[in-house]
Each structure stands twice: as structure tokens, then as C-alpha cells.
Structure 1
């Protein structure tokens, strides 16, 4: 059992107060009223008002979630003096019935459905008894007709036979009627069973909170009778929110991207959040809050190690016994390993004007945030090394004063038509970003290797050498021109012995694009029905006896 207690100093006057000032324990009805949800975790606040008689009282909040950490509970009391706070999450005393009217109605509906099903089962049981009674009567009459103790008088036998026949017929009719009733009642029972299941589901939907609860007891002193306001805040770990984006690209003479921002909220805190005032925050309270520490970088210089003379195996075995133990290796001071906190940037909060409800472990609530517009430069990106078509791109700058949060719940639209879903990386204020909006089927790519001559096969020269020629084709089969950023690569070397020369026609617009060695980019314009071509030639040579990797 976890237990936490806050015990402020009690004045002497309070200790000497008359015993009549001590009142009974008061149960405080409370529920979550405000919630701040973080990317991981949430801060829940309950506020309740209670009328206190003069004196010292125990105020009991019996229904906090089971897994609340007592060290992360904050209590404020206005209108009375808070004396102590105690926390119990095991062995709870029985509490009052605090069902809401909706829960009470759902319980009544379930009870009515179960009662109707029970009454129907009673009718089925009576019909089954009738069938059994009719069968017992028929069995008795059959046994009577075959008995050896029958009278020998013909008239008496005739009357007995008539009676057996009549009663057997009546028993058969009763059994048939009962069986018919059972079939009808069993069909009706299916409906009554569904009624019970529906009523149970309706009740379960209202009772999503965990049954195990935490009891919080506040000891407070009121100098005079009046109202006091209790505010209890606590952190829960099993809650989270994530951005949900719709990125809508509108093309035309001037292109733009509208970012519709929303949020997906889920929680498994053990209690329902009903009509709470909700705020979403981008800060992560459980993340790193202190900067790292720099330690001294201690360096040493030593004499270079002397080369050891080679010896054969026998000499090595003979000298092993005479070898001195190795000198101890100087200890090297290393920086301690530290966890790396991945932070999203400056904190932003979103407060909602309307109440929000999120059931425990049941709801995935989507909330609309806002819409932000950006000017966009639309172009095509072609990577023929991996793709057969080019892709539509929109280059835009985050002109807001806040970071656009990353999410894996982003959907792209082009002129109102959805083109796909993707992961959206965070974008800092002022940062330029390229966003893909699906393939352009009318921009076809083709990459053809024209030749490959290898010198070690005796085709070019005495030294090892490779010559490659590649042609890249971009065909525009559509009705509009496209500005295309074409990407390809040439091999690079960091060894003097491996010589690499290359040429391109036309020359690339950018070499070593974004500081990636050997990555080339051409900025081209391809007219409708036209085709653009790029030719790459690469020569690689290296000394004899070496292998190219």
C-alpha cells in the first residue's frame, strides 16, 4: 500500500479547541473538471465546493484513479485551513452510491431486460414440464395396456382400452401444444437475450472507469461555518495526444497549401473525463529539464611503442615464462553516458472553448484545432535511380511563430482529392520544407546504362579501369509544363589511388546537393509532349592488384 501524508504544524489553540468543534467525515463529490494533455501524460484537476460547519473535519474524495502517484498530487483549499492530506489506494472502506442518473437508468434498463428474460425462461420451463408430464402419462398408459393383471371381462377390457386410447390422445395433444409453445418461446428468447446484451453494453459504455479507486482524505479546519473550495490536481501517465493534419494543396496560377490541424486524444487513466475543459500542450514534463554537463577532456602523451622482434613459435613458448607482466594501462577519464531527450521545441498550448469528453480506454477523440495557409512553390522531383515516375512537391516556409509538430497522421490532398498519407516531420518557425503530394503519372522516367567497360578484362588499358555511360530520360506525356528537379549520383572516393572522373551533359545545377558527396541535381523544364535527356559518364581507375568495392 502506498501512503503519503502532509502534516502542517497545528497551533496550540487548535489543540485546545472544544471537542464539539470536531464534526463527522464529509464525502466530497468530485470529478475531473480540467485536463491538460501532454504528448505523453496529462495533468487532471478536480474542483469541488463543500459547506463546512465550524471546526475540524475530514473531507474524503473517494474516487481518484487507482494508479495516481501520491508524490504528484497537489491540493489547494480555499475557505478553510488545510491541516493534512492522507492517501490510500488499498483496502478501501465501502463508499456511498454515487451513480449518475445516466448510470442509474442504464442499470434499471439492464435489470428490466434480465427480468423479462427470466420470466420467459420460467414459461419455457413450465412448457417443458408439460411435455414431461404428457410423456409420463403416455408411458403409464402403455404399461397399463400390457399389464398381466388386466381383468378378463370383455366389457371391462373394452372400457379400459377406450380409456387408454382417449387418455393417450389427450397426452399427445398436450405434449404437442407444449412443444409448439417451447419453439415459439425459444424464438422470443433470442430477442430477450439480445435486449440483455444491449442493456449490458450500454451500461459498460458508461462504466469505462476502473473499479479500483484511490481515497484521498483532507483534514481541514473552518474558523466559521461556510463554503470551502477544494482543488486537487494529479498527473496520470496513461494519456497522450498527437497532431492530425490534412494538407490541402491548391494548384493554379498561384499555388498554396492549407494545413488543417487537429488532435487525437486517448487516455487510459482509470477514470472517464466527462465535459472537461481541455488544453493540449506540446511541452513534455517528463523530458529532460536540465542541460548537460561538460567534463574535462584529459589527454596524455607517451613514448611510442617499440616494435617487437619476430620470433618463431618455439622461442615464444620458451620465453613465455620469463616475460614480465605488462605495465598497467593508464586509466582514461570518460564522460558518463547520458540519455538524450528528443524535444519538440518551444511549448505551445491549445485551449478548447467547448467541453470535451474522453472515456477511459474506449474513445479516440478527434478535435479540430485551426487552419494555417502557406504560399507554395509546386514542382516535380525525379529520382530515376529508384522511381519510374516523378512526384509532385510543394516547397513552403513555416511563416508561423510556432513549430509545426511532427505526426504520423498526415493526409495529403491535391485540389480536393486525397492522394495518400505520410509521416510529417517537425518544422521549426522560418524553416523551409518540401512536402510530397503523390506521383505524377504523366512524367515518366527511364535510366539506361549505355556501356560498361572493365579494364581488368583487357578492354581499355593495362591498369584496372571502369568506364560507365548512363542516359536519363524524362518524358512529359501530359498537357502542362513541369519544372523538374532531377536527382542522380556519381561515385566518390576518399583514396588517392582510386581516381574518379565524371562529366554530365547538360551540367548539373547543383553538385554535392545538401552536402551529400556525389549527389547531383538538375533544374529542368519539360514542356508538354516533350522529352529531356541527361547523359552521365564516369571513369574509375586504380592500381593493379587492388579490388574495387
Structure 2
């Protein structure tokens, strides 16, 4: 803005340094004191003018625009999304300023931005800008990136040169072959010439064919070297491409945050920005190892983190939270349900109602819950969180970056479980109590038994002090069989007083190993909820538990099967029902 000094119609000098609407009372007082008609001395007047200009130039003429970058210092990752904390550091003189932060991701949601300033800085209005952005000095390629790009260009040039050299060798061979073919056709066309001419032609063709053949042989000798040179150039180009891709290219797809600030004390200042980005996720991963000799179950916990937020996270403090920011923040609403009865209607009236010919009976207006009309983003809550103990680097576009969390050790009760009705072998099961004092979150788990990889499973959520049982694969040395030596049905004349089914089952567990095995054998019998259908059973040895885990009809025997021996269980089940009734629900 230009400065001008001119007399106004009243004879006083007017200072056009600010628009008339923004002149302060002090300027008006100074203008009134400088009346041209009342100047007693030209030197005194000039000294007053110089002093006034000094005061005006010392004050800010307009808000200064400052440009600053930000650094991501902390990230909280949710199962869907992440909260990023940025720190903006800048130097500013006292007064009003426009601060432009130019390194936010292009797809930043302005509604999720939350700003916090230091005590000496006050924040006014702010807005997100995605166009007409100033150039960013930090977008200049790094020295490593520039060198890698130069190396790739050189490798591409070398590949082109090698390809041209190979094409030249191939062209020599093809030219020699074409010359030989032409000479052959030329000799055939001179079949009617005299003897002397034929002899001369033959000598000429022979010499030319010899020369062309020698040229082709020499070119073929150069062919392997040219092919190797091209392969080497292609491999060098591929390595150069990989080296360049490993480096982060400068990005120009960014957004800028423009905000008005007031700085009370000149010097360094900071602003913290919190923003939510949806393109991030995490999940737990477990490696669970069972050692039967020690009776210990070791659980290694890891975290899988993925992010595609448009920028790298470098040296951030990482927190993993089980909160669900995208879910409803409040429970659903329940609304009154009006039911009524009316007189029966004729078939024709019902048809007309179905066709829409008659207006339906008026009902209460439908109320739509606000919870479905809009989504409330809640970033805090009573959730399980994990804080990673050290800063981490997670590049943009990384999928399932694995971070080790900790290791938990539990006492385990390992025994075999045998279900002869369904399986040919027993399985090793380990029961443990979650004594860690922490909730074990659901996630995939990879199982190891005595150092051998068994397979994978899904670990269900487990509260502190809760008990869980995991399967650790088949025990090939424990073979199972379930046979039916006899089965009698009363409706075939074996029993005459009532209809009956009697089943005798033999459950055998053969231990082929050299150790004694504790085994829980399980089987099932039918159950009835009708008084007329009577179901009874006998078992030898007696069952250890009936209706296991509340499942009616499920039986269990806790046995120890000695090495190189077979344990047999006899189970007899009888069902009886009155004559004239039919058993419904086949089960064997």
C-alpha cells in the first residue's frame, strides 16, 4: 500500500497510509495538530512529520502471512480410521497474522480438525484450502531421490543402447541371409544362358554367397555377446527402478490450512492439530506355543497396522485403540407400536386394499431416529488401548506392518480329547486361565506344539481370569473307533409290550505311543422333552460328566490310557414309547 501526504480541503495534511474507515483516534489527533495555517516554523513542522512517519512505519500495516509445515508426532489407530496429532512450529512477531500450513493430506476432512495453541497464541477463523496453494520448498526431491532417478535414466539409456546393438547384429544376419536367397534365385533364372556365361555366373554367385555366409557367421558370433549385454542392461534397469521406488517421491497432492492467529509475545510458537483419517486400521495377531513337558503356554502378541492416509508416519508415538469412531455413539431408539382390531372385511375389500384402491387406515406417523440420519464421530470412550513403547515409522500404503507387542506365559492343562463318533484320532487340547489381568482381543492365532507348527485358529475375546481351551492338532498315536455290536428294534418283534430301540455302542481308544495319555472321551445320546418318550442309558465305566457345558445328552469320560494299550467304553441306550406312536428325529 502506498503512502501519500497531501493537504485536505481544510488545510490539514491527510495521511493515506490506512483507508479512511480504519484511521484511529490518535491519527486524527495528529492530523489536527498539523494544521498548515498554524505552523510557526517550517523546521519544527518537518521534525514533527519525520517523527510521525517513524511511528507509523513501526506499526504493522496489515496482517502478515506466515508459512509453516507440520510434523506428525502421535497417532491413535482404531479398527477403522486413525487420529493424527500434528505439531506446527513457527516464529512470529507480535500482532495479527495469517498462518498457512501447507502439508496436510489432500483428502483431509475439515470437519474433524481440532486446533490447540500455546498460551501466547490465540486462534481465530480457519479454513482448508486445496487450490491456489503457494509452492512448498520441502517438495524439492531429496538428494537420494535425485541420484536414484538419475541412475534409473542412465540404466534406461544403457538398455536402449544394448537393444540397438542387438538389433544391428540381427540386421546383419538377416541381410546376409537375404543376399544368399537372392543369389540363389539369380542362378536359377540363368538356366538358358551359354556355358561360358553360366560358368561366370556360377563363379560370381559362389563368391558372393561365400562372402554373405561369412558375414552371417561373423554376425552370429557377435549375437551372444549382444544378447548378454541386453540382459545385463535390463537387470540393471530393474534394480534402478526398485531403488527409486523404495524412496518416497515428493508429492504435490496436498491441502493447506489457513488460519488467523494473534501472537502476544514475539518468538517461537506452536500449534497442535488433531485430525481423523479413515484410511487406517489395525488388528491383533497371536503366536501361541504349547510345551507339554513344562505345561506352559506362551502367547506372543503382535499388532498388524495398515495405513493409506496419503503421507508417511515417521517417528510417531503409536497407540492402538478398540474404539469404533464410525459406529453409533448412542443406542437405537424404541417407538410405540400401535395395534388395533377391526371388523372382518370381505374378500373384495381386502383385494381392493391390496391394490391400493382404498386408503389405508391412518396410523401414527413414523419417526426416524436421528442416529440413522447422521453419524456422530466419537473419538474417546471406555475402550482397550495399547501404547507402543517406542516411536515407529509406517509408510503410506503399507499393509499389515507387524509390530511386536509383548509375551504372556500361562500354565496350561494339556490332555487329549477323543470323539469316536466323528473322528479317527484324538486331538490335543490345552486349557488355560487368562492370568495377565488384560483383555485378550479376538484375532488370528498361529499354533505351535512342542516346536512343530500345527496350524491356525481364531482366538476369541478373553476377559481377565476367564478360562479358554485351544486345540493343538491331531494325535496320530491315539486311534478311535465306535462300533455297534447289536441293535434291536421292538417293532420287529424283539419286544412286544411297547416300541423300543436299544443300542449298544463300543467306544475304543487305542494308544500306539510310548507314553500314558490323559484322555477325555465324549459321546452323545438322545434326549427327550416328552413324558411318553423314555430314554435311559448305562455306561461302563461310568460317565465322569453328563450334559457337558449345558449341552443335553453330551457325555464325557476322563480316563488315562496306558501306553501300548486299548481302553474300551460300553454305552447302552434304550428308548421306549407307547404303541401307536412313531419316533421322530433319527439320530444315529
Question: TM-score, normalised on structure 1?
Answer: 0.75
- The match for 1:450 is 485
Write out aligned runs for 1:374-389 (5 A).
374-389=410-425
Correspondence 1:191 to 2:232:
yes
Q: Which moved more, 1:195-204 or 1:346-355?
A: 346-355
> Which has the higher mean CA deviation after the structures are superposed, 478-487 or 509-518?
478-487
SS in 1 for 2:476: strand
For the pair 1:232 / 2:267, whether they are aligned, the reply is no
Matched residue SS, 1:495: coil
Selected match of 1:102 from 130, 144, 153:
144
Which of 266, 269, 277 is matched with 2:309 structurally?
269
CA contact (8 A) 1:82 1:218 kept: no
Question: Are 1:515 and 2:555 counterparts?
Answer: no
Indicate the residue corresponding to 1:204 in structure 2: 245
Equivalent residue number for residue 259 of structure 1: 299
Q: 1:274 to 1:178 in 2, by over 3 A?
A: farther
Correspondence for 1:148: none
Q: Does the aligned pair in 2 maintain the 1:346–1:403 contact within 8 Å?
A: no
Q: 1:459 and 1:365, CA in 2 relative to 1: closer, same or farther beyond 3 A?
A: same
- Aligned twin of 1:9: none
Partner of 1:467: 502
SS of 2:155 mapped into structure 1: helix
Q: Conserved in 2, the CA contact under 8 Å of 1:358 and 1:364?
A: no
1:545 is displaced (CA, Å) by 4.9
2:387 & 2:257 partners in 1: Cα distance? 31
Residue of structure 2 equivalent to 1:47? 87
Question: Could you tell me how far apart the structure 1 residues matched to 2:220 and 2:517 are?
Answer: 80
The match for 2:63 is 22
Distance across 2 between alignment mates of 1:453 and 1:190:
80
Q: CA deviation at 1:429?
A: 0.7
Aligned to 1:495: 530
Deviations 1:15-53 (A, max 9, x none): x99663433452x33343322222332222232322234
Name the counterpart of 2:15: none
Shift of 1:277: 2.4
CA drift at 1:477:
2.6
Classify 1:414/1:13 alpha carbon distance in 2 versus 1 (closer, same or farther; 3 Å). farther
Deviations 1:490-538 (A, max 9, x none): 1012233333222222222221111111111122222223332222222
Contact 1:506 1:535 in 2 (8 A): yes
3-state SS in 1 of match to 2:545? coil
Could you say if the C-alpha distance between residues 80 and 172 of structure 1 is closer, same or farther in structure 2, counting changes exceeding 3 Å?
A: farther
Q: Following the alignment from structure 1 to structure 2, what is the Cα–Cα distance between the partners of residues 348 and 384?
A: 42
Asked if residue 356 in structure 1 is aligned to residue 356 in structure 2, the reply is no
**Cα pair 1:33 1:276 within 8 Å, conserved:** yes
User: Greater relative contact order (Cα 8 A, min sep 6): structure 1 or 2?
Assistant: 1
Distance 1:23 1:183, change over 3 A: farther
- For each residue in 1:185-218, what CA deviation from the matched residue of structure 2 results, as whole angstroms up to 9, or x when unmatched? 4532332232222222222233489x67341223
Q: TM-score, normalised by structure 2?
A: 0.70
2:437 matched residue in structure 1: 401
* CA displacement at 1:488 relative to structure 2: 0.9
Q: Which residue of 1 aligns with 2:186?
A: none
1:284 corresponds to: 324
CA contact (8 A) 2:162 2:226 kept: yes
Contact 2:102–2:136, Cα closer than 8 Å, also in 1: no
Shift of the 281–202 alpha-carbon distance from structure 1 to 2, 3 Å rule, reads same
Larger radius of gyration: 2
Structure 2 SS opposite 1:202 = helix
- Identify which of 289, 310, 332 aligns with 1:248: 289
Structure-2 change in CA distance of 1:247 and 1:166 (3 Å): closer
Q: In structure 1, what is the Cα distance between the partners aligned to 2:213 and 2:90? A: 72
Counterpart secondary structure, 1:461:
coil
SS of 1:191's equivalent in the other structure is: helix
Q: Which residue of 2 aligns with 1:73?
A: 113
Aligned-CA RMSD value:
4.7
Distance 1:90 1:495, change over 3 A: farther
Relative to structure 1, is the Cα distance of residues 206 and 30 closer, same or farther in structure 2, using a 3 angstrom cutoff? farther
C-alpha separation in 2, matches of 1:92 and 1:175 = 63
> What is the match of residue 519 of structure 2?
484
The alpha-carbon distance between structure 1 residues 375 and 186, as it changes in their structure 2 partners (threshold 3 A), is closer
Q: Deviations over 1:154-209 (max 9, x none)?
A: xxxx9xxx999999999998898778667644532332232222222222233489
Structure 2, unpaired ranges of 5+: 1-21, 28-55, 184-199, 354-359, 373-380
Question: How far apart in 2 are the matches of 1:335 and 1:384?
Answer: 57
Give, in whole Å, the separation in 1 of the partners of 2:76 and 2:169. Answer: 60
Residue of structure 2 equivalent to 1:87: 128
Unaligned runs of 5+ in 1: 1-11, 142-157, 307-318, 340-344
CA contact (8 A) 1:272 1:358 kept: yes
1:67 counterpart SS class: coil
- Determine if contact 1:135/1:175 at 8 Å carries over to the other structure: yes
Equivalent pairs, count:
498
Match of 2:539 in 1: 504
Distance 1:136 1:389 in 2: 74
Provide the residue aligned with 2:158 in structure 1: 116
Q: CA deviation at 1:489?
A: 0.8
Output the CA distance in 1 between the equivalents of 2:544 and 2:365.
48
Deviations 1:105-142 (A, max 9, x none): 32232233234335556767888999999999999x9x
